[in-house]
Structure 1
Amino acid sequence: MAQKVMKITQSFITLAQALKEEGIIGTGGQAKWFLQENTVLINGAADDRRGRKLYPGDQFQVLGTTYVIQKQD
C-alpha cells in the first residue's frame, strides 16, 4: 500500500479539504457523494464525515493509499 505525506500550514484540515487537495475529488461539494460511495479510514476507523478535522499525526486511508498529515514548518 502506498503512503504519502500531506503537509498542512494550518492547525488542522477537514477530510473534504484533504480529499480535494490530493486530487481525489474535484470540488468540496463532491465529498458527500464520495464518502457515501467509498470507505475512508481515519487512524484505522471508518469515518464518513466530510467535516472531520485531521490534525498533524493523523492518517487517512482511501483508494489504496495512506496519507499522513504533517505540519509544514
Structure 2
Amino acid sequence: MKKIEISQEPIELNKLMKFESLVSSGGEANSAIVGGLVKVNGATETRKRKKLMTGDVVEFMQESYEIVLV
C-alpha cells in the first residue's frame, strides 16, 4: 500500500486524486468517482468532495493509498 502525505486535513477526494496525479485532470477525477471506480475504506465512493482524513484508504485502478498527515 502506498502512502499519500498531506499537510492538512481534511482533503477532498477529487483534489487528492488530481494533486497526486492519479488522474490527469479534475474532470477525469470527477468522472472516475461518479462512475464508481473509486473506493474509500472498502466502500464505493461517488461523492466527489468526500472529505478524507488520516488513516483513510483510497483504492483506484488496483492500487491502494493510505492518507497520512505530516
TM-score (norm 2): 0.86
4+ aligned runs moved over 6 Å, structure 1: none
Residues in 2 aligned to 1:46 and 1:34: alpha-carbon distance in whole angstroms:
11
Q: Once superposed, what is the RMSD of the aligned Cα atoms? A: 1.4
List gaps (5 residues or longer) in structure 1: none
AA matched with 2:2: K
> What is the SS of the residue equivalent to 2:64?
strand
The 5 Å alignment of 1:17-56 reads 17-56=15-54
Q: How many residues align?
A: 70
Give identity over the alignment, percent. Answer: 30
Who wins on radius of gyration, i.e. which is larger? Answer: 1
1:63 to 37, 41, 61: 61
What are structure 2's unaligned runs of at least 5 residues? none
- Report the TM-score when normalising by structure 1: 0.83
